[in-house]
Structure 1
Amino acid sequence: MTDRSDIAAVLDGVDKRFPKAASFSRLLKSWRREQLRVLDGASLAVHRGEIVALTGANGAGKSTIMRLFCGLLVPDAGVVRVFGLNPADEAVRRRLDIGVVLPNDRSFFWRLTLRRNLEFFGALQDLPPHEAALSAESCAKRVGVDAALDRPFRELSDGMKQRAAVARALLNRPRLLLVDEATRSLDAGGAERVRTLITELARYNGVAVLLASHNLDEVAALADRVLYLEDGRVRIDGLPAAVGSEILARLQAREAEATR
Protein backbone atom coordinates (compact mmCIF):
# COMPACT_ATOMS: atom_id res chain seq x y z
CA MET A 1 0.00 0.00 0.00
CA THR A 2 2.50 2.59 -1.10
CA ASP A 3 0.33 4.37 -3.71
CA ARG A 4 -0.61 7.72 -2.15
CA SER A 5 -3.66 7.98 -4.40
CA ASP A 6 -5.44 5.34 -2.30
CA ILE A 7 -4.92 7.18 0.99
CA ALA A 8 -8.23 8.17 2.55
CA ALA A 9 -7.04 9.85 5.74
CA VAL A 10 -3.65 10.95 7.01
CA LEU A 11 -2.10 12.54 10.10
CA ASP A 12 1.40 13.92 9.63
CA GLY A 13 3.40 15.13 12.63
CA VAL A 14 0.32 16.17 14.59
CA ASP A 15 0.49 17.73 18.06
CA LYS A 16 -2.60 18.28 20.19
CA ARG A 17 -2.71 19.75 23.68
CA PHE A 18 -5.51 20.31 26.16
CA PRO A 19 -5.54 22.39 29.36
CA LYS A 20 -4.94 20.35 32.48
CA ALA A 21 -7.56 20.52 35.18
CA ALA A 22 -6.34 23.02 37.77
CA SER A 23 -7.12 23.10 41.48
CA PHE A 24 -8.27 26.36 43.10
CA SER A 25 -5.04 26.66 45.11
CA ARG A 26 -2.94 26.34 41.98
CA LEU A 27 -5.05 28.96 40.24
CA LEU A 28 -4.38 31.36 43.12
CA LYS A 29 -0.66 30.98 42.47
CA SER A 30 -0.83 31.36 38.71
CA TRP A 31 -3.42 32.12 36.05
CA ARG A 32 -1.43 30.17 33.51
CA ARG A 33 -2.80 26.66 33.11
CA GLU A 34 -0.54 23.76 32.27
CA GLN A 35 -1.04 21.94 28.98
CA LEU A 36 -1.51 18.20 28.62
CA ARG A 37 0.03 16.97 25.37
CA VAL A 38 -2.16 14.15 24.09
CA LEU A 39 -0.55 13.83 20.64
CA ASP A 40 3.14 14.51 20.09
CA GLY A 41 4.15 14.32 16.44
CA ALA A 42 1.61 11.58 15.67
CA SER A 43 1.57 10.23 12.11
CA LEU A 44 -0.62 7.59 10.48
CA ALA A 45 -2.49 6.82 7.26
CA VAL A 46 -5.64 4.87 6.43
CA HIS A 47 -6.15 3.54 2.90
CA ARG A 48 -9.33 3.01 0.91
CA GLY A 49 -10.85 -0.40 1.62
CA GLU A 50 -8.66 -0.89 4.70
CA ILE A 51 -9.76 -1.47 8.30
CA VAL A 52 -7.27 0.06 10.73
CA ALA A 53 -7.65 -0.34 14.50
CA LEU A 54 -6.36 2.15 17.06
CA THR A 55 -5.44 0.73 20.45
CA GLY A 56 -3.78 2.11 23.53
CA ALA A 57 -4.37 2.83 27.19
CA ASN A 58 -7.03 5.31 28.30
CA GLY A 59 -5.89 8.81 27.39
CA ALA A 60 -3.54 7.61 24.66
CA GLY A 61 -5.24 9.82 22.06
CA LYS A 62 -7.56 7.45 20.20
CA SER A 63 -10.67 9.60 20.53
CA THR A 64 -8.65 12.74 19.84
CA ILE A 65 -7.54 11.31 16.49
CA MET A 66 -11.14 10.46 15.62
CA ARG A 67 -12.24 14.01 16.39
CA LEU A 68 -9.39 15.46 14.34
CA PHE A 69 -10.41 13.42 11.31
CA CYS A 70 -14.06 14.44 11.53
CA GLY A 71 -13.18 18.10 12.04
CA LEU A 72 -14.38 18.49 15.63
CA LEU A 73 -10.83 19.39 16.69
CA VAL A 74 -7.98 21.19 14.96
CA PRO A 75 -4.30 20.28 15.49
CA ASP A 76 -1.88 22.58 17.30
CA ALA A 77 0.78 21.52 14.81
CA GLY A 78 1.04 19.16 11.87
CA VAL A 79 -1.33 18.23 9.06
CA VAL A 80 -4.70 16.42 9.04
CA ARG A 81 -6.17 15.51 5.67
CA VAL A 82 -9.16 13.45 4.53
CA PHE A 83 -9.13 12.66 0.81
CA GLY A 84 -6.56 15.43 0.49
CA LEU A 85 -8.72 18.09 2.14
CA ASN A 86 -8.83 19.75 5.55
CA PRO A 87 -11.79 18.36 7.57
CA ALA A 88 -11.70 21.33 9.96
CA ASP A 89 -13.00 23.53 7.13
CA GLU A 90 -16.79 23.31 7.53
CA ALA A 91 -17.50 23.97 3.85
CA VAL A 92 -15.10 21.15 2.92
CA ARG A 93 -16.34 18.75 5.61
CA ARG A 94 -19.83 18.60 4.11
CA ARG A 95 -18.32 17.16 0.91
CA LEU A 96 -16.06 14.55 2.49
CA ASP A 97 -18.64 11.79 3.07
CA ILE A 98 -17.42 10.86 6.55
CA GLY A 99 -19.48 8.57 8.77
CA VAL A 100 -18.86 8.90 12.50
CA VAL A 101 -19.81 6.78 15.52
CA LEU A 102 -18.61 8.30 18.79
CA PRO A 103 -19.22 6.99 22.33
CA ASN A 104 -21.77 8.61 24.63
CA ASP A 105 -23.38 10.44 21.71
CA ARG A 106 -26.14 12.76 22.96
CA SER A 107 -27.15 14.30 19.65
CA PHE A 108 -30.23 12.17 18.97
CA PHE A 109 -33.60 13.72 19.79
CA TRP A 110 -35.09 11.51 22.47
CA ARG A 111 -38.73 12.54 21.94
CA LEU A 112 -38.66 11.88 18.20
CA THR A 113 -38.99 8.45 16.66
CA LEU A 114 -35.90 6.75 15.35
CA ARG A 115 -37.24 7.25 11.83
CA ARG A 116 -37.62 11.01 12.28
CA ASN A 117 -34.15 11.20 13.82
CA LEU A 118 -32.53 9.43 10.88
CA GLU A 119 -34.48 11.49 8.34
CA PHE A 120 -33.42 14.68 10.12
CA PHE A 121 -29.74 13.72 10.10
CA GLY A 122 -30.06 12.71 6.46
CA ALA A 123 -31.40 16.19 5.66
CA LEU A 124 -28.43 17.72 7.50
CA GLN A 125 -26.24 15.83 5.05
CA ASP A 126 -28.11 17.41 2.13
CA LEU A 127 -30.16 14.34 1.23
CA PRO A 128 -33.50 15.25 -0.42
CA PRO A 129 -36.52 14.26 1.74
CA HIS A 130 -37.43 11.19 -0.32
CA GLU A 131 -33.83 9.97 -0.38
CA ALA A 132 -33.42 10.64 3.35
CA ALA A 133 -36.52 8.53 4.05
CA LEU A 134 -35.27 5.65 1.90
CA SER A 135 -31.79 5.83 3.42
CA ALA A 136 -33.24 5.82 6.95
CA GLU A 137 -35.16 2.61 6.18
CA SER A 138 -32.21 0.94 4.47
CA CYS A 139 -29.59 1.81 7.10
CA ALA A 140 -31.87 0.84 9.99
CA LYS A 141 -32.43 -2.53 8.35
CA ARG A 142 -28.70 -3.09 7.82
CA VAL A 143 -28.03 -2.80 11.56
CA GLY A 144 -31.21 -4.59 12.64
CA VAL A 145 -33.24 -1.75 14.18
CA ASP A 146 -35.84 -1.35 11.42
CA ALA A 147 -38.55 -2.83 13.69
CA ALA A 148 -37.98 0.12 16.05
CA LEU A 149 -38.16 2.89 13.44
CA ASP A 150 -41.47 4.24 14.72
CA ARG A 151 -40.61 4.07 18.41
CA PRO A 152 -39.46 7.17 20.32
CA PHE A 153 -35.70 7.15 20.63
CA ARG A 154 -35.91 7.36 24.43
CA GLU A 155 -37.59 3.93 24.53
CA LEU A 156 -34.71 2.14 22.80
CA SER A 157 -32.27 0.00 24.78
CA ASP A 158 -28.63 1.08 25.02
CA GLY A 159 -27.71 -1.55 22.47
CA MET A 160 -30.35 -0.34 20.01
CA LYS A 161 -29.20 3.25 20.49
CA GLN A 162 -25.67 2.15 19.65
CA ARG A 163 -26.87 0.42 16.48
CA ALA A 164 -28.91 3.51 15.62
CA ALA A 165 -25.69 5.54 15.81
CA VAL A 166 -24.11 3.13 13.33
CA ALA A 167 -27.15 3.46 11.05
CA ARG A 168 -26.83 7.24 11.14
CA ALA A 169 -23.17 7.02 10.16
CA LEU A 170 -24.18 5.16 6.98
CA LEU A 171 -26.85 7.60 5.77
CA ASN A 172 -24.54 9.48 3.39
CA ARG A 173 -22.80 6.35 2.06
CA PRO A 174 -19.48 7.33 3.65
CA ARG A 175 -16.10 6.82 2.03
CA LEU A 176 -14.44 7.09 5.46
CA LEU A 177 -15.99 5.50 8.55
CA LEU A 178 -14.72 6.53 11.99
CA VAL A 179 -15.93 4.23 14.76
CA ASP A 180 -15.03 4.65 18.43
CA GLU A 181 -15.85 1.48 20.42
CA ALA A 182 -18.16 0.09 17.73
CA THR A 183 -19.74 -2.74 19.71
CA ARG A 184 -19.94 -1.29 23.20
CA SER A 185 -23.38 -1.92 24.79
CA LEU A 186 -24.21 -4.55 22.16
CA ASP A 187 -25.12 -8.16 22.85
CA ALA A 188 -23.21 -10.91 21.06
CA GLY A 189 -25.61 -11.00 18.10
CA GLY A 190 -25.64 -7.24 17.66
CA ALA A 191 -21.86 -7.03 17.93
CA GLU A 192 -21.39 -9.70 15.28
CA ARG A 193 -23.84 -7.94 12.97
CA VAL A 194 -21.94 -4.65 13.24
CA ARG A 195 -18.57 -6.35 12.73
CA THR A 196 -19.88 -8.09 9.61
CA LEU A 197 -21.25 -4.81 8.28
CA ILE A 198 -17.94 -3.01 8.81
CA THR A 199 -16.08 -5.79 7.01
CA GLU A 200 -18.50 -5.70 4.06
CA LEU A 201 -18.24 -1.92 3.76
CA ALA A 202 -14.47 -2.15 3.48
CA ARG A 203 -14.26 -5.22 1.26
CA TYR A 204 -17.11 -4.56 -1.18
CA ASN A 205 -17.56 -0.78 -1.09
CA GLY A 206 -13.96 0.34 -0.64
CA VAL A 207 -14.78 2.26 2.54
CA ALA A 208 -11.77 3.23 4.64
CA VAL A 209 -12.44 2.33 8.28
CA LEU A 210 -10.65 3.62 11.36
CA LEU A 211 -11.89 2.06 14.58
CA ALA A 212 -10.79 2.64 18.14
CA SER A 213 -11.16 -0.31 20.49
CA HIS A 214 -9.93 -1.70 23.79
CA ASN A 215 -11.09 -5.15 22.72
CA LEU A 216 -8.03 -6.90 21.28
CA ASP A 217 -10.07 -9.96 20.26
CA GLU A 218 -12.31 -7.70 18.19
CA VAL A 219 -9.27 -5.97 16.71
CA ALA A 220 -7.79 -9.33 15.71
CA ALA A 221 -11.06 -10.38 14.06
CA LEU A 222 -11.71 -7.13 12.19
CA ALA A 223 -8.57 -5.18 11.44
CA ASP A 224 -6.18 -5.43 8.52
CA ARG A 225 -3.70 -3.39 10.52
CA VAL A 226 -3.42 -2.31 14.14
CA LEU A 227 -1.77 0.83 15.54
CA TYR A 228 -0.72 1.11 19.17
CA LEU A 229 -0.62 4.63 20.64
CA GLU A 230 1.63 5.51 23.55
CA ASP A 231 3.00 8.85 24.76
CA GLY A 232 1.33 10.72 21.94
CA ARG A 233 2.66 8.70 19.01
CA VAL A 234 2.10 5.49 17.08
CA ARG A 235 4.62 3.10 18.63
CA ILE A 236 3.51 -0.14 16.92
CA ASP A 237 2.07 -0.57 13.41
CA GLY A 238 1.51 -4.05 12.04
CA LEU A 239 -0.72 -7.03 11.37
CA PRO A 240 -2.84 -8.02 14.39
CA ALA A 241 -1.44 -11.56 14.45
CA ALA A 242 2.13 -10.27 14.35
CA VAL A 243 1.95 -7.50 16.96
CA GLY A 244 -0.99 -8.50 19.18
CA SER A 245 1.11 -10.10 21.92
CA GLU A 246 3.46 -7.10 22.08
CA ILE A 247 0.52 -4.70 22.36
CA LEU A 248 -1.07 -6.81 25.12
CA ALA A 249 2.22 -6.82 27.05
CA ARG A 250 2.50 -3.04 26.78
CA LEU A 251 -1.08 -2.51 27.90
CA GLN A 252 -0.59 -4.78 30.89
CA ALA A 253 2.62 -2.95 31.80
CA ARG A 254 0.85 0.42 31.62
CA GLU A 255 -2.01 -0.88 33.76
CA ALA A 256 0.41 -2.23 36.36
CA GLU A 257 2.26 1.08 36.42
CA ALA A 258 -0.99 3.01 36.88
CA THR A 259 -1.98 0.94 39.94
CA ARG A 260 1.29 1.40 41.82
Structure 2
Amino acid sequence: MSGPIIELADLRRSFVVRRKVGRLRRERTEVRAVDGISLRVEPGESVGYIGANGAGKSTTIKMLTGILVPTSGSVRTCGLDPVPQRRRLAAEIGVVFGQRSQLWWDLPLRDSFRVLGALHRLDAGVAHRRSAELVDRLDLERLLDTPVRQLSLGERMRGEVAAALLHRPRLLVLDEPTIGMDMISKERLRRFLVEQREASGTTLLLTTHDMSDIERLCDRVLVVDRGRLVHDGTLAGLAETVALDRVLVVDLPGPHPDLVVRDVRHVDSELDGQRQRLAFDPRRTTAARVLSDVSAQVEVVDLTLSEPAIEDVVQTLYARPTEEPVD
Protein backbone atom coordinates (compact mmCIF):
# COMPACT_ATOMS: atom_id res chain seq x y z
CA MET A 1 0.00 0.00 0.00
CA SER A 2 1.60 3.25 -1.15
CA GLY A 3 0.85 6.86 -0.31
CA PRO A 4 1.17 8.82 2.92
CA ILE A 5 0.71 7.11 6.27
CA ILE A 6 -1.19 10.13 7.63
CA GLU A 7 -3.00 12.71 5.53
CA LEU A 8 -5.05 15.49 7.13
CA ALA A 9 -6.84 18.12 5.03
CA ASP A 10 -8.36 21.15 6.78
CA LEU A 11 -9.21 18.90 9.72
CA ARG A 12 -11.51 20.41 12.34
CA ARG A 13 -13.18 19.21 15.50
CA SER A 14 -15.44 21.34 17.66
CA PHE A 15 -17.13 20.60 20.96
CA VAL A 16 -20.10 22.33 22.55
CA VAL A 17 -19.42 23.23 26.17
CA ARG A 18 -22.31 24.17 28.44
CA ARG A 19 -21.65 26.30 31.49
CA LYS A 20 -23.96 27.64 34.11
CA VAL A 21 -24.76 31.36 33.94
CA GLY A 22 -26.73 32.49 36.95
CA ARG A 23 -29.08 30.16 38.78
CA LEU A 24 -31.38 29.07 35.94
CA ARG A 25 -29.56 29.70 32.68
CA ARG A 26 -26.93 27.71 30.83
CA GLU A 27 -24.75 29.10 28.07
CA ARG A 28 -23.53 27.05 25.11
CA THR A 29 -20.03 27.76 23.80
CA GLU A 30 -18.34 26.15 20.83
CA VAL A 31 -14.72 25.17 21.48
CA ARG A 32 -12.50 24.43 18.48
CA ALA A 33 -10.12 21.74 19.67
CA VAL A 34 -8.66 21.26 16.17
CA ASP A 35 -8.96 24.22 13.83
CA GLY A 36 -8.02 23.51 10.22
CA ILE A 37 -4.92 21.30 10.38
CA SER A 38 -3.47 20.02 7.10
CA LEU A 39 -0.39 17.81 6.93
CA ARG A 40 1.12 14.64 5.46
CA VAL A 41 3.35 12.07 7.11
CA GLU A 42 5.18 9.76 4.72
CA PRO A 43 6.10 6.11 5.39
CA GLY A 44 9.12 5.72 7.66
CA GLU A 45 9.06 9.25 9.06
CA SER A 46 9.53 9.90 12.78
CA VAL A 47 7.45 12.90 13.78
CA GLY A 48 7.11 14.71 17.08
CA TYR A 49 3.67 16.25 17.63
CA ILE A 50 3.97 18.67 20.50
CA GLY A 51 1.94 21.40 22.15
CA ALA A 52 0.72 22.67 25.48
CA ASN A 53 -2.04 20.86 27.36
CA GLY A 54 -5.30 21.58 25.56
CA ALA A 55 -3.57 22.50 22.28
CA GLY A 56 -5.41 19.79 20.30
CA LYS A 57 -2.88 16.94 20.20
CA SER A 58 -5.02 14.22 21.76
CA THR A 59 -8.08 15.23 19.73
CA THR A 60 -6.05 14.94 16.52
CA ILE A 61 -4.78 11.49 17.49
CA LYS A 62 -8.29 10.32 18.36
CA MET A 63 -9.49 11.37 14.90
CA LEU A 64 -6.65 9.70 13.01
CA THR A 65 -7.17 6.47 14.99
CA GLY A 66 -10.96 6.44 14.47
CA ILE A 67 -12.02 7.21 18.03
CA LEU A 68 -13.51 10.61 17.13
CA VAL A 69 -15.35 11.74 14.00
CA PRO A 70 -14.13 15.06 12.52
CA THR A 71 -16.51 18.01 12.50
CA SER A 72 -15.22 18.83 9.02
CA GLY A 73 -12.24 18.22 6.79
CA SER A 74 -10.77 14.81 6.08
CA VAL A 75 -8.37 12.33 7.63
CA ARG A 76 -6.82 9.20 6.17
CA THR A 77 -4.52 6.90 8.13
CA CYS A 78 -2.56 4.17 6.33
CA GLY A 79 -4.76 4.90 3.31
CA LEU A 80 -7.96 4.16 5.26
CA ASP A 81 -10.87 6.24 6.49
CA PRO A 82 -10.43 5.74 10.26
CA VAL A 83 -14.05 5.58 11.45
CA PRO A 84 -15.82 3.34 8.90
CA GLN A 85 -12.67 1.24 8.38
CA ARG A 86 -11.65 1.11 12.02
CA ARG A 87 -11.26 -2.68 12.17
CA ARG A 88 -8.94 -2.75 9.17
CA LEU A 89 -7.03 0.20 10.59
CA ALA A 90 -6.45 -1.62 13.89
CA ALA A 91 -4.26 -4.10 12.03
CA GLU A 92 -2.11 -1.28 10.62
CA ILE A 93 -1.47 0.84 13.72
CA GLY A 94 -0.17 0.46 17.25
CA VAL A 95 -1.12 3.00 19.89
CA VAL A 96 0.23 3.71 23.36
CA PHE A 97 -1.65 6.21 25.52
CA GLY A 98 0.33 7.09 28.65
CA GLN A 99 -2.70 7.11 30.94
CA ARG A 100 -4.76 4.32 29.31
CA SER A 101 -3.81 0.66 29.14
CA GLN A 102 -4.39 -1.91 26.42
CA LEU A 103 -3.15 -4.60 28.82
CA TRP A 104 -5.48 -6.64 31.02
CA TRP A 105 -5.20 -5.19 34.51
CA ASP A 106 -5.52 -8.42 36.51
CA LEU A 107 -3.73 -10.73 34.10
CA PRO A 108 0.02 -11.40 34.09
CA LEU A 109 1.84 -9.57 31.34
CA ARG A 110 2.49 -12.87 29.54
CA ASP A 111 -1.24 -13.55 29.21
CA SER A 112 -1.93 -10.06 27.89
CA PHE A 113 0.51 -10.71 25.05
CA ARG A 114 -1.21 -14.04 24.27
CA VAL A 115 -4.65 -12.42 24.19
CA LEU A 116 -3.45 -9.57 21.99
CA GLY A 117 -1.81 -12.02 19.59
CA ALA A 118 -5.14 -13.85 19.28
CA LEU A 119 -7.05 -10.60 18.79
CA HIS A 120 -4.75 -9.68 15.92
CA ARG A 121 -5.19 -13.22 14.52
CA LEU A 122 -1.47 -13.89 14.53
CA ASP A 123 -0.23 -17.43 13.99
CA ALA A 124 0.65 -18.88 17.41
CA GLY A 125 4.27 -19.47 16.44
CA VAL A 126 4.66 -16.01 14.94
CA ALA A 127 3.10 -14.40 18.02
CA HIS A 128 5.39 -16.40 20.34
CA ARG A 129 8.56 -15.46 18.45
CA ARG A 130 7.58 -11.80 18.22
CA SER A 131 6.68 -11.67 21.94
CA ALA A 132 10.01 -13.26 22.86
CA GLU A 133 11.88 -10.71 20.74
CA LEU A 134 10.08 -7.76 22.34
CA VAL A 135 10.43 -9.19 25.85
CA ASP A 136 14.17 -9.54 25.37
CA ARG A 137 14.69 -6.09 23.82
CA LEU A 138 12.56 -4.30 26.43
CA ASP A 139 13.88 -6.29 29.43
CA LEU A 140 10.47 -7.70 30.39
CA GLU A 141 11.39 -11.30 31.21
CA ARG A 142 11.23 -10.94 35.00
CA LEU A 143 7.85 -9.18 34.72
CA LEU A 144 6.00 -11.71 32.56
CA ASP A 145 4.23 -13.46 35.46
CA THR A 146 3.38 -10.23 37.29
CA PRO A 147 -0.21 -8.94 37.06
CA VAL A 148 -0.26 -5.64 35.18
CA ARG A 149 -1.80 -3.82 38.17
CA GLN A 150 1.34 -4.62 40.21
CA LEU A 151 3.75 -3.11 37.68
CA SER A 152 5.25 0.32 38.21
CA LEU A 153 4.27 2.99 35.68
CA GLY A 154 7.61 2.72 33.90
CA GLU A 155 7.39 -1.09 33.74
CA ARG A 156 3.84 -0.93 32.44
CA MET A 157 4.84 1.56 29.74
CA ARG A 158 7.48 -0.87 28.46
CA GLY A 159 4.79 -3.55 28.38
CA GLU A 160 2.46 -1.19 26.51
CA VAL A 161 5.09 -0.50 23.84
CA ALA A 162 5.68 -4.24 23.39
CA ALA A 163 1.92 -4.82 23.09
CA ALA A 164 1.57 -2.04 20.51
CA LEU A 165 4.36 -3.53 18.36
CA LEU A 166 3.30 -7.18 18.63
CA HIS A 167 1.56 -7.23 15.23
CA ARG A 168 4.26 -5.15 13.46
CA PRO A 169 2.12 -2.08 12.72
CA ARG A 170 2.98 0.35 9.93
CA LEU A 171 2.25 3.31 12.22
CA LEU A 172 3.15 3.53 15.91
CA VAL A 173 1.48 6.35 17.86
CA LEU A 174 3.07 7.05 21.23
CA ASP A 175 1.60 9.40 23.82
CA GLU A 176 4.11 10.13 26.64
CA PRO A 177 5.88 6.75 26.22
CA THR A 178 8.69 7.42 28.74
CA ILE A 179 6.48 8.70 31.56
CA GLY A 180 7.46 7.18 34.90
CA MET A 181 10.81 5.84 33.68
CA ASP A 182 14.25 6.50 35.11
CA MET A 183 16.96 7.88 32.82
CA ILE A 184 18.46 4.46 32.02
CA SER A 185 15.07 2.97 31.11
CA LYS A 186 14.21 6.02 29.00
CA GLU A 187 17.41 5.75 27.01
CA ARG A 188 16.96 2.01 26.52
CA LEU A 189 13.43 2.51 25.17
CA ARG A 190 14.57 5.32 22.86
CA ARG A 191 17.38 3.14 21.49
CA PHE A 192 14.92 0.29 20.97
CA LEU A 193 12.49 2.53 19.06
CA VAL A 194 15.28 3.81 16.80
CA GLU A 195 16.31 0.22 16.03
CA GLN A 196 12.71 -0.86 15.36
CA ARG A 197 12.22 2.00 12.94
CA GLU A 198 15.45 1.17 11.09
CA ALA A 199 14.68 -2.55 10.94
CA SER A 200 10.97 -2.41 10.04
CA GLY A 201 10.45 1.03 8.49
CA THR A 202 7.80 1.77 11.13
CA THR A 203 6.38 5.29 11.00
CA LEU A 204 6.44 6.99 14.39
CA LEU A 205 4.15 9.73 15.69
CA LEU A 206 5.19 10.87 19.14
CA THR A 207 3.51 13.25 21.57
CA THR A 208 5.45 14.08 24.72
CA HIS A 209 6.43 16.80 27.15
CA ASP A 210 9.92 15.28 27.43
CA MET A 211 11.94 17.19 24.86
CA SER A 212 14.76 14.64 25.12
CA ASP A 213 12.37 12.12 23.52
CA ILE A 214 11.87 14.52 20.60
CA GLU A 215 15.59 15.21 20.23
CA ARG A 216 16.52 11.51 20.24
CA LEU A 217 13.67 10.09 18.18
CA CYS A 218 12.25 12.65 15.76
CA ASP A 219 13.47 14.05 12.45
CA ARG A 220 10.49 16.35 12.09
CA VAL A 221 8.54 18.41 14.61
CA LEU A 222 4.93 19.58 14.40
CA VAL A 223 3.88 22.18 16.95
CA VAL A 224 0.17 22.73 17.53
CA ASP A 225 -1.22 25.66 19.49
CA ARG A 226 -4.91 26.31 20.14
CA GLY A 227 -5.87 23.79 17.50
CA ARG A 228 -3.66 25.21 14.75
CA LEU A 229 -0.39 24.00 13.30
CA VAL A 230 2.19 26.70 14.01
CA HIS A 231 5.40 24.93 13.02
CA ASP A 232 6.29 22.07 10.69
CA GLY A 233 10.00 21.42 10.31
CA THR A 234 13.12 20.34 12.14
CA LEU A 235 14.08 21.07 15.73
CA ALA A 236 16.91 23.25 14.47
CA GLY A 237 14.46 25.14 12.27
CA LEU A 238 12.15 25.60 15.25
CA ALA A 239 14.98 27.14 17.28
CA GLU A 240 15.87 29.44 14.36
CA THR A 241 12.25 30.51 13.94
CA VAL A 242 12.00 31.56 17.57
CA ALA A 243 15.60 32.82 17.65
CA LEU A 244 16.18 32.82 21.39
CA ASP A 245 19.55 34.06 22.59
CA ARG A 246 22.46 31.65 22.62
CA VAL A 247 24.98 31.90 25.44
CA LEU A 248 28.75 31.76 24.99
CA VAL A 249 30.61 30.85 28.20
CA VAL A 250 34.29 31.87 28.12
CA ASP A 251 37.00 30.95 30.63
CA LEU A 252 39.86 33.45 30.89
CA PRO A 253 43.39 33.02 32.33
CA GLY A 254 42.58 35.08 35.42
CA PRO A 255 40.26 37.74 36.87
CA HIS A 256 39.03 40.24 34.29
CA PRO A 257 36.55 43.13 34.11
CA ASP A 258 33.20 42.45 32.47
CA LEU A 259 33.67 42.08 28.73
CA VAL A 260 32.03 44.61 26.43
CA VAL A 261 31.30 43.14 22.98
CA ARG A 262 29.16 44.54 20.16
CA ASP A 263 25.72 42.98 19.71
CA VAL A 264 26.22 40.99 22.92
CA ARG A 265 24.54 41.11 26.33
CA HIS A 266 26.76 40.38 29.31
CA VAL A 267 24.85 37.87 31.45
CA ASP A 268 27.10 37.39 34.46
CA SER A 269 30.64 36.75 35.70
CA GLU A 270 32.17 34.26 38.14
CA LEU A 271 35.51 34.13 39.97
CA ASP A 272 36.11 37.88 39.58
CA GLY A 273 35.46 37.66 35.87
CA GLN A 274 37.55 34.57 35.13
CA ARG A 275 34.39 32.95 33.72
CA GLN A 276 31.89 35.12 31.85
CA ARG A 277 28.61 34.43 30.08
CA LEU A 278 27.72 36.39 26.96
CA ALA A 279 24.29 36.15 25.31
CA PHE A 280 23.73 36.99 21.66
CA ASP A 281 20.89 36.96 19.15
CA PRO A 282 21.81 34.56 16.30
CA ARG A 283 19.95 36.79 13.84
CA ARG A 284 22.35 39.67 14.53
CA THR A 285 25.69 37.96 15.04
CA THR A 286 27.40 34.57 15.23
CA ALA A 287 29.30 32.66 17.88
CA ALA A 288 32.45 32.88 15.74
CA ARG A 289 32.22 36.68 15.57
CA VAL A 290 31.58 36.99 19.31
CA LEU A 291 34.57 34.76 20.03
CA SER A 292 36.73 36.79 17.66
CA ASP A 293 35.80 40.04 19.42
CA VAL A 294 36.48 38.50 22.83
CA SER A 295 39.84 37.08 21.69
CA ALA A 296 40.85 40.54 20.50
CA GLN A 297 40.53 41.73 24.11
CA VAL A 298 41.82 38.79 26.15
CA GLU A 299 43.11 35.22 25.83
CA VAL A 300 40.37 32.56 25.98
CA VAL A 301 41.36 29.40 27.83
CA ASP A 302 38.15 27.44 27.26
CA LEU A 303 34.63 28.01 25.99
CA THR A 304 31.22 26.39 25.65
CA LEU A 305 28.18 27.38 23.63
CA SER A 306 24.77 26.84 25.20
CA GLU A 307 21.85 26.45 22.81
CA PRO A 308 18.38 27.46 24.05
CA ALA A 309 16.47 24.68 25.79
CA ILE A 310 13.78 23.19 23.58
CA GLU A 311 11.24 23.83 26.36
CA ASP A 312 12.07 27.54 26.14
CA VAL A 313 11.80 27.49 22.35
CA VAL A 314 8.35 25.91 22.44
CA GLN A 315 7.14 28.16 25.27
CA THR A 316 8.21 31.23 23.29
CA LEU A 317 6.43 29.91 20.22
CA TYR A 318 3.22 29.42 22.23
CA ALA A 319 3.43 33.05 23.41
CA ARG A 320 3.20 34.41 19.86
CA PRO A 321 -0.13 36.01 18.86
CA THR A 322 -2.26 33.54 16.90
CA GLU A 323 -2.44 35.86 13.92
CA GLU A 324 1.35 35.93 13.57
CA PRO A 325 2.35 33.46 10.85
CA VAL A 326 5.08 30.96 11.60
CA ASP A 327 6.76 29.24 8.66
How far apart are residue 112 of structure 1 and its match? 0.9
Q: Is the 8 A contact 1:86 1:92 kept in 2?
A: no
Q: Is the 8 A contact 2:171 2:202 kept in 1?
A: yes
Q: Is the 8 A contact 1:179 1:212 kept in 2?
A: yes
CA distance in 1, matches of 2:22, 2:37: 31
CA distance in 1, matches of 2:125, 2:16: 45
CA distance in 2, matches of 1:7, 1:27: 52
Deviations 1:78-110 (A, max 9, x none): 111112211212343244x20101121144222
Tell me what 2:306 maps to. none
Tell me what 2:7 maps to. 10
Tell me what 1:83 maps to. 78
CA distance in 1, matches of 2:176, 2:97: 8
Q: Is the 8 A contact 2:225 2:318 kept in 1?
A: no
Residues 195, 250 of structure 1: alpha-carbon distance in 2 compared, 3 angstrom cutoff = closer
1:251 to 305, 315, 320: 315
CA distance in 1, matches of 2:114, 2:66: 23
Say which SS state the counterpart of residue 205 (structure 2) adopts. Answer: strand
Residues 193, 40 of structure 1: alpha-carbon distance in 2 compared, 3 angstrom cutoff = same
2:64 to 48, 66, 69: 69
Deviations 1:32-85 (A, max 9, x none): 632211101111221111100011111111112222222111211111111221
Q: Is the 8 A contact 1:177 1:207 kept in 2?
A: yes
Q: Is the 8 A contact 1:52 1:224 kept in 2?
A: yes
Tell me what 2:220 maps to. 225
Higher relative contact order (CA 8 A, sep 6+): 1
Tell me what 1:93 maps to. 89
Tell me what 1:29 maps to. 25
Tell me what 1:183 maps to. 178
Q: TM-score, normalization: structure 2?
A: 0.70
Tell me what 1:172 maps to. 167
Q: TM-score, normalization: structure 1?
A: 0.87
How far apart are residue 27 of structure 1 and its match? 8.5
Same amino acid, percent of matched pairs: 35
Larger radius of gyration: 2
After TM superposition, list the pairs within 5 Å mapping 1:143-154 onto structure 2.
143-154=138-149
Tell me what 2:252 maps to. none
Greater per-residue strand proportion: 2
Say which SS state the counterpart of residue 22 (structure 1) adopts. Answer: strand
Tell me what 1:116 maps to. 111
Say which SS state the counterpart of residue 197 (structure 1) adopts. Answer: helix
Q: Is the 8 A contact 1:216 1:244 kept in 2?
A: no
CA distance in 2, matches of 1:21, 1:58: 21
CA distance in 1, matches of 2:9, 2:118: 33
The reply on whether 1:194 has 2:258 as its aligned counterpart is no
CA distance in 1, matches of 2:186, 2:115: 26
Give the CA RMSD over aligned residues.
2.4
Aligned length: 251
Deviations 1:210-259 (A, max 9, x none): 101122232122211001101211111111122136273452474799xx
Residues 11, 256 of structure 1: alpha-carbon distance in 2 compared, 3 angstrom cutoff = closer
CA distance in 1, matches of 2:215, 2:18: 36
Q: Is the 8 A contact 1:220 1:241 kept in 2?
A: no
Q: Is the 8 A contact 1:52 1:227 kept in 2?
A: yes
After TM superposition, list the pairs within 5 Å mapping 1:229-240 onto structure 2.
229-240=224-235
Q: Is the 8 A contact 1:56 1:251 kept in 2?
A: no
Greater per-residue helix proportion: 1
